[in-house]
Amino acid sequence: MKIGIMCHSSCGGSVRISVDLANALAERGNKVHLFSPHPPELSFENKSGIILHYLVPGRLNKAKRSLLVTEWPQNKMRAFVGMILSSIENDSLDILHYHYALPFAFVAQIIKKKLGSLAPQIIGTLHGTDVSLYGKDPVKSKQLIECFESTDAFTTVSQSHADLAVKYFNFSSSPTVIPNFVDMEKFKDKNLSNTKNSDLKANPPIIIHISNFRPIKDTLTVGKIFSLIKKEIDAKLWLVGVGPDLAGLKRFFKEKGIEKSVYYWGFKQDYTHILRRADLSLITSLSESFSLFTLESLASKVPVLATNVGGLSDLVIPEKTGFLFPLGDIHLASRLALNFFSDSDKQKLLKTNAREHSYNFTLESSVCAYEELYKSRMRYYQLNKPPDRRVVFSKDLNFN
Ligand code: GMT
């Protein structure tokens, strides 16, 4: 198949999923075009079979890496649509798959309006705040509901997120759930931290948080929980990533006098080697459709302490792969962590369970599910296709 994938260029999970999916589809013999405003903040391990299209050749600057820019000016939209239209014209794409609704559902709508039944089959994957934030916004959700009519099939990443999408966007049928996935080899445990917790004094446990430090991650709560833990035992907090709330969090640690126990790794394209050295991952999100970081933690044999929201309960099974706590209950969260650190048998068991559970979310099974969906849309298209697939394109894009 010839597949176009649209994604953002920043460092979020939807970008990682898009890039890994593009790589895997190409490895399976598909021809993949990847469309992004800038080169995504991730490396391509296998470039053969992938054609990369960017509006701007350089990567995003540091300040913008953690931001999802969802509102694009008209000239950027026009250029992006033009870039995709010329690939459809030159390579006759079968599928155009967008990751994250804003602004890509609008891009897809323009393409569909322009090409009508000659357009590729349009697949939309709803990833997170495109539903949980914009679905609640009366103006944005109205615009989205209208433009979603141009999308032929939807997927999302967990059942709870599918239910939310149905609620906010009045879908008549639920989007297909294709979970986030992890490359089990890449996140393989190297047995570095398996024995270290037997002596808490010699080896203070390491708690890790990786995110883009956006308000939805509620990272001040990471700070509050860590400061409660620090009152009881020596522990370290590793923070990986950058984003708008990081400065406030640094101030909080200074005020509490615990800044020496916090290590800032900054933005890391590859954090596999850091993650696998941690003892517990901490997630405090107010909402989370899935949480790729949680899955990566489990694959790295790192149990997870997380808020009980969205798709997190698919991954964090209390007392088996980690612990869940209700939003705001920092005292329960710190107690759960302290109990865990004081029980080395429990740590061993949960580490093993974590890795085992992550096998339910392998790259192979999700990529197969995406491919099956594309094939079923192709079959549908073959039955309904117009007489001549090749068309003459007008270079003059009319946006009105
Ligand atoms: O929606 C966002 O906030 C950003 C988005 C992204 O691009 O990383 O994150 C969402 O998509 C990820 C990949 O599907 C999920 O693992 C994250 O849970 C989800 N974030 C939220 O729901 C807050």
> pLDDT by residue (tens digit) across 314-331?
999 999 999 999 999 999
pLDDT tens for residues 249-278?
A: 999 999 999 999 999 999 998 999 999 999
Give the span between the Cα atoms of 58 and 40, in whole angstroms. Answer: 10
128 lines ligand 1 (CB under 6 A): yes
Residue 127 Cβ < 6 Å to ligand 1: yes
Ligand 1 centroid to 162 CA: how many Å?
A: 14
Atom of ligand 1 nearest to the CA of 310: 22
Ligand 1 neighbour 155 (Cβ under 6 A): no
- Please give the distance, rounded to the nearest whole angstrom, from the Cα atom of residue 237 to the centre of ligand 1: 23
How far is the CA of 346 from the CAs of 54, 294, 296, in angstroms?
A: 48, 19, 20
Mutation choice for ligand 1 from 136, 290, 316, 358, CB with most ligand atoms inside 8 A:
290
Q: How close is the Cα of 130 to the center of ligand 1, in Å? A: 9
- 290 CA closest ligand 1 atom index: 18
Q: Is the CB of 67 under 6 A from ligand 1?
A: no
Which atom of ligand 1 lies at the shortest distance from residue 214's CA? Answer: 3
3-state helix, strand, coil in the chain (%, to 5): 45, 15, 40
Q: On the CB side of 48, how many CA atoms lie within 13 Å of its CA?
A: 3
| Contact call for residues 269 and 239 (beta carbons, < 8 A) | no
Determine the Cα–Cα distance for residues 159 and 174; give it in Å rounded to an integer.
Answer: 9
- Which pTM value belongs to this model? 0.93
Residue of the CA atom closest to atom 3 of ligand 1: 129
Q: From the alpha carbon of 287, which atom of ligand 1 is closest?
A: 23
Q: What is the pLDDT of residue 384?
A: 76
**Residue among 392, 377, 397, 399 at smallest CA distance from 118:** 392
Atom of ligand 1 nearest to the CA of 12: 8
Q: Which atom of ligand 1 sits closest to the CA of residue 10?
A: 7
How far does residue 362's CA lie from ligand 1's centre (Å)? Answer: 18
Q: For a substitution probing ligand 1, which of 14, 211, 245, 293 has the most ligand atoms within 8 Å of its CB?
A: 14
Residue 263 pairs with which residues in a beta bridge?
Answer: 238
Q: How does DSSP assign 151-189, residue by residue?
A: -SEEEESSHHHHHHHHHHH--SSPPEE----B-TTTT--
- Please give the distance, rounded to the nearest whole angstrom, from the Cα atom of residue 394 to the centre of ligand 1: 36
Alpha-carbon gap, residue 399 to 340, rounded angstroms: 57
Neighbours of 127 (CB within 10 A): 28
pLDDT of residue 194: 47
Residue 278 phi/psi, 5-degree rounding, is -85, 165
Q: Whose CA is closest to 371, among 158, 126, 123, 201?
A: 123
Check residue 386 and give its pLDDT. Answer: 64
Q: From the CA of 145, how far away is ligand 1's center (Å)?
A: 20
Does ligand 1 lie within 6 Å of residue 157's CB atom?
yes
For residue 61, give the DSSP letter.
Answer: P
CA angle, 379 as apex, 375 and 381 as ends, to 5°?
110
Kindly give the number of the ligand 1 atom that is closest to the alpha carbon of 17.
13
Residue 388 has a pLDDT of: 54
Q: What is the distance in A from the centroid of ligand 1 to the CA of 309?
A: 13
Contact 21, 5 (CB under 8 A): yes
The residue whose CA is least distant from atom 23 of ligand 1 is 288
All domains of the chain in start order, with CATH: 2-181+362-384 (3.40.50.2000), 184-358 (3.40.50.2000)
Tens of pLDDT along the chain (400 residues)? 999 999 999 888 999 999 999 999 999 999 999 999 999 876 665 567 899 999 998 887 777 777 889 999 999 999 999 999 999 999 999 999 999 999 999 999 999 999 998 999 999 999 999 999 999 999 999 999 999 999 999 999 999 999 999 999 999 999 999 999 999 999 986 555 444 544 555 689 999 999 999 999 999 999 999 999 999 999 999 999 999 999 999 999 999 999 999 999 999 989 999 999 999 999 999 999 999 999 999 999 999 999 999 999 999 999 999 999 999 999 999 999 999 999 999 999 999 999 999 999 999 999 999 999 999 999 987 777 665 554 444 444 444 3
Please name the residues in contact with 280: beta carbons below 8 A apart, sequence gap of 6 or more. 205, 206, 207, 208, 302, 303, 304, 305, 322, 337, 340, 341
Q: What is the pLDDT of residue 148?
A: 98
